Structure 1
């Protein structure tokens, strides 16, 4: 009898473990987060999910058939309103607003049936814009999956899937190795996690390891710190994609935050970035290369605009919500938490495409 009981328990554990490894999740565990947001302890976070009202005009947004490369420095922003609507509606739906869940469902169905973005130009800038749109789209889809019937799920997934695979493209340049590629693989990994596609999911794991292996001993990323006045800007952007990948992996029980490649870990990259924010001269030797620096040509004048909420409502430090919510006690995390409490928390909700949407709603604690 004991042998039979032991066998049954072992079998259940094996099945449970296998299911945990392949269970479609996404950037975060949606149902677990829904439950958390319903608890009194998360009242302030739930309020942050609902703090931006649903705009009735979003239902009339005309699908954009394709994104285009821009002249000079910049990105096609024609899909900004769509991305903003998806991020706000997904946060509201996560907090239990059924009207927003319905609105998000209808928006995604409309754009899916129109095959939006399918005509995006095969140029790295246009693809970059597409990737920025895709990450919140994947997150939004994961949030409302439960309310979709089989046909609706098929329609939306059949639209997203080829777009995700489209951006897995090599342009034979530095964009195949820098923050552009990090964003790509965060999108592939997210969609792989949502759909159970282990091949796509593994691309994120592989990229994460590559980022660490390519970092300098001080934690700086060579292709980002050469960017003149925007050296720290792109270090921060890289950390955003790394955070998304680490959070996706965490849903399967994998700790990428603690991964160490040749002495380099997430904390080392984070620490270097925080050092640069505190003492910008730290990055000057690398920034002097002044490679595509953006609007400011003087590399001695670092662009720290990412520390403040943008006029369009986004906050490029939204990814910090995920890191500071983790029970991690390392020095880099403690320093980030201090920065968060001092300068970022008052800007909640922190929303950004690179983080997949309303990061306060997705990861924040009171």
Structure 2
């Protein structure tokens, strides 16, 4: 019952944030920077968590909507204002804030990577403030023991944070640090496609396998421009994890081969957290994916720069079928 209440509370809050952002996006009203992100744990206090993250999530929703609409001047203004305020860099007393800041920084970088090159060139003075701020976020993520000691999906997400920000700022040391973390994830994938630490999540194991796959695929895509092929590593391990999740989306009962525990999914597990399917299909042309992608489009993930379909998707067959 508690978990169901948690799902409802978080879903309602995020829905209200999206609606509020839609009304104000065109005005480009820049919200005051959130100095520190320090919510209670997601599973510790659902209502308190939702309240604490709302201002940051409102900003991210507005930022992503601006990018979705091609309102690049507004996008730059939003990022500049938060960079000048050194947003999210205040002290964190708990642990959840480290995760939130990592996800937020990843989103900021992926929004910038959606941006036409001429936009960034035209606003070089503003990016002289934005880029160092993003690097501060990345360095704080790199050095966060609250993440590093976990050796699970949050480490892989931290890796994507470092690679995405390093790509935006052309900071190779950040990219290298990110690759270490993402490669840890790739080498954690077992022969059956499972991740031992995520199996231990009990009735959330399938959710966390899906969630862990996101940063691995998006990092693999980003580093291809550096002639690094993460898809080949650990004997094509990403494909093994992808196959496990694809099978489970098509037939959730198939996950019983990994754990006998009945799985409990969030409403978003098999919706926007399947965003990895867009770049993965573009890369592999896996014939199983169009029928899974088509009814879910457009994918929009707040950690990944907004409309993932618009940025990473390709045309699907006219009649997607199994």
Q: TM-score, normalised by structure 1?
A: 0.70
Kindly indicate whether structure 1 or structure 2 has the higher relative contact order, using CA contacts under 8 Å at least 6 residues apart: 1
SS in 1 for 2:216: helix
- Report how many residues are paired: 284
CA, structure 1 residues 171+151, in 2 after alignment: closer, same or farther (shift >3 Å)? same
* 1-structure distance, mates of 2:117, 2:170: 14
| Runs (5+) with no aligned partner, structure 1 | 1-51, 94-99, 289-298, 310-314
CA, structure 1 residues 230+59, in 2 after alignment: closer, same or farther (shift >3 Å)? same
CA, structure 1 residues 54+72, in 2 after alignment: closer, same or farther (shift >3 Å)? closer
CA, structure 1 residues 119+304, in 2 after alignment: closer, same or farther (shift >3 Å)? closer
**Partner residue in 2 for 1:130:** 101
The structure number with the bigger radius of gyration is 1
Matches within 5 A, 1:137-156: 137-142=108-113, 143=115, 146-147=118-119, 148-156=122-130
Contact (CA 8 Å) 1:58, 1:82: kept in 2 or not? no
| Runs (5+) with no aligned partner, structure 2 | 1-21, 316-322
Match of 1:270 among 242, 249, 257: 242
Deviation, 1:255, is 2.4
Contact (CA 8 Å) 2:110, 2:304: kept in 1 or not? no
**Partner residue in 1 for 2:233:** 260
**Partner residue in 2 for 1:239:** 213
SS in 1 for 2:53: coil
**Partner residue in 1 for 2:174:** 200
Contact (CA 8 Å) 1:319, 1:355: kept in 2 or not? no
**Partner residue in 1 for 2:313:** 364
Does residue 90 (structure 1) correspond to residue 62 (structure 2)? The answer is no
Q: TM-score, normalised by structure 2?
A: 0.79
* 2-structure distance, mates of 1:175, 1:90: 34
SS in 2 for 1:141: helix
Would you tell me which structure has more helix in proportion to its own residues? 2
**Partner residue in 2 for 1:35:** none
Contact (CA 8 Å) 1:219, 1:264: kept in 2 or not? no
CA, structure 1 residues 242+54, in 2 after alignment: closer, same or farther (shift >3 Å)? farther
**Partner residue in 2 for 1:316:** 273
CA, structure 1 residues 65+344, in 2 after alignment: closer, same or farther (shift >3 Å)? same
Contact (CA 8 Å) 1:120, 1:126: kept in 2 or not? no
Contact (CA 8 Å) 1:228, 1:302: kept in 2 or not? no
Does residue 114 (structure 1) correspond to residue 92 (structure 2)? The answer is no
